[in-house]
Amino acid sequence: MKSAFLDAFSGLSGDMIAGAMLDAGADFDELRAALASLPLDGYRLAARRKLVSGISALKFDVEVSAAQPERHLSDIREIVARASALSTGVKDRAMAIFGVLAEAEAKIHRTTPEQVHFHEVGAVDSIIDVVTAAWGFERLELKEMIVSPLPAGSGFVCSQHGIIPVPAPATAELLVGFPMRMGDGASEMVTPTGAAILRALAVAAPPAMGFRVERVGYGAGTKDFADRPNVLRLMVGERAQTYEADELVEIAANIDDLNPQIYDHVVERLFETGARDVTLTPTIMKKGRPAVTISVLAEPSAREQIAAVLFVETSTIGLRYHPVARLKLAREIKEVDTRWGRVRVKVSRAGDDTVTLSPEYDDCKRLAREHHVALRLVLAQAQAAARRQVSCDD
């Protein structure tokens, strides 16, 4: 699957994404012909080489020569729809970008997406940047874009609404879920247009990712930074691994003075609180004292709730925790029919290959008790039914 990795060490903007795509292989003359079908005037496209800290990058510019009206989402939708030289896929991606931006602005200003006034982003240069990103996605034959953690920047910028903090409110809303380095950068590092393109077309890079690079492009920004080259590096290639990845937190404690009967209750409470997994491991502490290490895996956002359960329900007076990067197989839940009833089955895959079929234990246990049949028979029939269903789906 063809992917683009955005190495955004200096942040990004719409023109940086466009420049990087052109530098990575999208043809400028083809782009100019495609954009010419947009019912817009008063601008001229330019692409030039810019040397930034010794790095040759492509600077994409939209030189505006006429005043532009304020536009609503409906105005931009009509402009994009009338572009005869753009494919349906390009139009859909462009409108997806404007759609998420309108939703973010509407939330901030307490209005509806259709009523949002696109000020800076409704200008012709921003429309061109967005459409170019959607067009470049198709021309580079990408199936996904992956972005590195982003510098959040700092300070304030001027807008049509007055002085606003960095990141701009719309930018912050659009980047919810994307890892950011808070306070990194002495300026606006990610623009609303760039953030909207990410929200609509990109996903955050996993903690560990293999990537086979085929070609590299650099898009230059407008500003000059003292601490880094203001370029966006775009790597086109394929992911070299088929596993999904995420980050959890592991919370653990050594306990040597708790009634063993209580552990079952503690584990149940932890799962109710959001634990992904709980393990109890016998261990030996100082002075040869036997103990139990209780370890909990959970989402980082659940750390305080998990800690509260451990402090309340056990005798520990201190916990340790650390982030854990996890590789996992893609999985989905299917329901299958057995002679005793329906069972949920977790189907795990690596790429297009099915790796495991795991019937839901509680479903099988319930059916075994209801029908007075051996649990192992229900489990076996559920797995066989799932294997047949997966084979038919494939």
Sequential DSSP letters for 102-168: HHHHHHHHTS-GGG--BSSTTSHHHHHHHHHHHHHHHHTT-SEEEE--EE---SEEEETTEEEESSP
Residues 140, 99, single domain; the answer is yes
Whole-angstrom CA distances from 331 to 14, 241, 246, 345, 384 are 34, 16, 14, 10, 18
At which of 295, 313, 328 does a domain end?
Answer: 328
Distance CA 211, CA 233 (A): 14
- pLDDT in the model for residue 354: 67
Residues 99, 170, single domain; the answer is yes
Residues 207, 317, single domain; the answer is no
pLDDT tens track for 29-88: 999 999 999 999 989 999 999 999 999 999 999 999 888 888 999 999 999 999 999 999
Judge whether residue 352 has pLDDT over 80: no
Whole-angstrom CA distances from 82 to 35, 37, 101, 200, 337 are 11, 8, 21, 21, 50
Q: How many domains does the chain have?
A: 3
Burial class (CB in 10 A: 0-12, 13-18, 19+), 265: exposed
Residues 262, 228, single domain; the answer is no
- Poorest-pLDDT segment among 29-43, 104-118, 132-146: 104-118
Residues 95, 21, single domain; the answer is yes
Q: Inter-axis angle of helices 192-201 and 14-23, to 10 degrees?
A: 60
Full residue range of the structural domain in which residue 373 is found: 330-393
Residue 241's pLDDT band (boundaries 50, 70, 90)?
low
- pLDDT in the model for residue 122: 56
- pLDDT in the model for residue 334: 93
Judge whether residue 330 has pLDDT over 80: yes
Mean pLDDT of 128-139: 97
Q: With contact defined as beta carbons under 8 Å apart, do 113 and 102 qualify?
A: yes
Residues 237, 268, single domain; the answer is no
What is the CATH number for 255?
Answer: 3.30.70.1380
- pLDDT in the model for residue 329: 86
- pLDDT in the model for residue 12: 97
Residues 255, 320, single domain; the answer is yes
Mean pLDDT of 237-256: 87
Distance CA 76, CA 178 (A): 27
What is the CATH number for 358?
Answer: 3.10.20.300
Q: Please indicate whether residue 36 or residue 394 has the higher confidence score (pLDDT).
A: 36
Cβ atoms within 10 Å of 157's Cβ, excluding its own: 15
Residue 307's pLDDT band (boundaries 50, 70, 90)?
very high
DSSP letter for each residue of 7-71: E-BTBB-HHHHHHHHHHTT--HHHHHHHHTTSS--SEEEEEEEEEETTEEEEEEEEEE-S----B
Residues 47, 187, single domain; the answer is yes
Mean pLDDT of the chain: 93
Judge whether residue 24 has pLDDT over 90: yes
Distance CA 367, CA 346 (A): 17
DSSP 190: B
Mean pLDDT of 353-365: 90
Query: Which stretches of 160-273 are DSSP H helices?
Result: 169-174, 192-201, 262-273
Residues 160, 279, single domain; the answer is no
At which of 283, 303, 328 does a domain end?
Answer: 328
Residues 320, 346, single domain; the answer is no
Burial class (CB in 10 A: 0-12, 13-18, 19+), 328: exposed
At which of 328, 357, 379 does a domain end?
Answer: 328
Residues 290, 388, single domain; the answer is no
Residues 161, 74, single domain; the answer is yes
